[in-house]
Amino acid sequence: MTYEEELRQERITKVEKLREMGVDPHGGRFDDVESTGSIRERAKSLNIDTGEIREGERARVAGRIVLQRVMGNLIFLTIRDQSGDLQFGLSKKKLKEQWPALKLLDLGDIIGADGDLGKTKTDELTLWADNVTILSKTIQPPPSKWHGLTDVELRYRHRYVDLFSNPDVRETFIQRSTIIQAVRDYLIGCDYIEVETPALQPIYGGAAAKPFTTHHNALDINLFLRISPELYLKRLLVGGMERVFEVSRNFRNEGISTRHNPEFTMVELYEAYADYNVMMERVEGMTALAIERLDGNLKRPFGDREIDYTIPWARHKYADLLREHAGVDMADVDGIRRKADELGIKHEKMDDAVVTNEVFEATVEDKLIQPTFVYDYPAAICPLTRRHPENPDIALRFEAFVNGMELGNAYTELNDPIVQEENLRSSLAGEKKDETMAVMDEDFILALEYGMPPAGGLGVGLDRLVMLLTNSQSIRDVILFPLQRPRQATEG
RNA sequence: GGGGGCGUAGCUCAGUCGGUAGAGCAUCGGCCUUUUAAGCCGCUGGUCGCAGGUUCGAGUCCUGCCGCCCUCACCA
């Protein structure tokens, strides 16, 4: 038996001992629990004196034992719930009958207690228990009681341990919920409705990415996990749903990095009779509400930088940035190709627009630190976007960048079915076949033929928004269970 | 796929020039009714990621492999 198994066996023995005492080691319903946060708040107005036990000031709390100080017949426990930590005082005098069971408590166990509030002589707010309920006797030892779990691999593989032993991690995911709820509330406040469209799609489209493929047995057909909900949401515009959004889990069968996870969450929205300028306001608006719900601070640290989200964000034309940072004119194809040579980009077999965008990505993107809308993209790489009325080589598209990272992407949507069909039929040299946005979807074209109102559309990467607003350097720190290569069963 | 780094007790980490694998915490046993990472005494705990190689001798040097992190490439 390994030492690890021994430690586990010792705890299993304690579980059996509890059963012999007639104590259920796994508890049950435990009503009317007050959070430790609420208790701390309540205690402020009670003015409990140091060393006082306020008889009759009742409290009922449940949580996990994260620290334990046993002094023979007096035990102090630090109990952690979602809102924070609170000290329990367990005295043999008050808990005579339960004492043998309470001596079996270990770090990591989940318990509940009723008692009077007080303060110890070191002025620590304490629940002096007169009844303790064991809610879950644990058989795995928790990690280091003050370092928590630091091994990054174990943190991701055993996120549940990471969450209860590292309060900062839990706080980040609570903030994630706050941010996404703010995005929803903002859009609902703009008269949007939330919808759900297929994640299993017979044709994938709406983005340029490799899909995951799967198979439906009963229909005997191959399906793709969506890379984007775009083509379905636009069908809803045709159907007369004028403002729709979806919080969409998208799947892209591509590399993993600090900014990419194979499954990620976007909010994608479409607004009839709007355009991409309105979408810029939507990005600003949802971000501002999220910040307001967090701490209201528009100037936020990210790594060693400070990002200022004050509205309005900077707006720059794609062509202007290309001229500024690459020193070439967007219409100067030869100049762009010379620059591509300089940058070591192999562009011989690429379409002009693809080369242009390669140069843009290499020279401009990492310069866009403060929130910036880059607008008016080369039309050829935007098959789903309406053309500029004065220049058919320009598409009414913007991308939002923060800290050199693409946060969002928006169009004034193309609603001309004839042009849309042409765009989907033509593929660009230099684009990989399975990674182009130009995948023909006959039913989508048919929908457009029935008439889609002019509209603005927008997608915002919510994982990346959460990264930025919570100062998280890796997308894995804002995704609860990021993809990891599975380990053999030998791993604990 | 290229480059760099990491992998030692349940957890957090040391381990010098190649010379008997260590500490703290946790666990286990003992003392303890006001602790705050409680304290004190005693014990237990190891496939040094895996497999080879060099060597009288490898946690340490070499090769291959596995996993993770960073980075470049890839990637709306």
What pLDDT sits at residue A280? Answer: 98
Distance of C1' in B19 from CA in A2, Å: 29
Mind listing the pLDDT tens digit for each residue in A342-401? 888 888 878 888 889 999 999 999 899 999 999 999 998 899 999 999 999 999 999 999
Nearest nucleotide relative to A155: CA against C1': B68
Greater pLDDT, A119 or A429 = A119
Query: Which residues in window 238-257 of A are less than 7 A from strand B by Cβ?
Result: 252, 254-255, 257
Q: Whole-angstrom Cα distance, residue A318 to residue A364?
A: 9
**Positions on chain B within 7 A of a protein C-beta:** 1, 9-13, 24-28, 31-39, 45-47, 66-76
Which one-letter amino acid corresponds to residue A471? N
- pTM for the whole structure: 0.94
Q: Strand B within 7 Å of which CB atoms in A 268-307? A: none
pLDDT tens per residue across span A223-245: 999 999 999 999 999 999 999 99
Residue with smallest Cα–C1' gap to B76? A208
Q: Which residue is nearest to nucleotide B25 (CA to C1')?
A: A144
- What mean pLDDT is predicted for residues A169-178? 96
Give distance CA A256 / C1' B53 (Å).
35
Q: What's the mean pLDDT in A299-322?
A: 95
Whether any strand B atom is under 7 angstroms from the Cβ of A349: the reply reads: no
Nucleic strand B within 7 A of Cβ A10: yes
Q: How confident is residue A429, by pLDDT bands cut at 50, 70 and 90?
A: low
Is the CB atom of residue A346 positioned under 7 angstroms from any atom of strand B? no
Q: Computed over its alpha carbons, how large is the radius of gyration of chain A?
A: 29
Please determine, for residue A492, whether its predicted confidence score (pLDDT) is greater than 80. Answer: no
Nucleotide nearest A146 (Cα, C1'): B37
| Whether A432 CB is under 7 Å from strand B | yes
The closest nt to A210, taking CA to C1', is B75
Percent of chain A with pLDDT over 90: 86
A258 touches strand B (CB under 7 A): yes
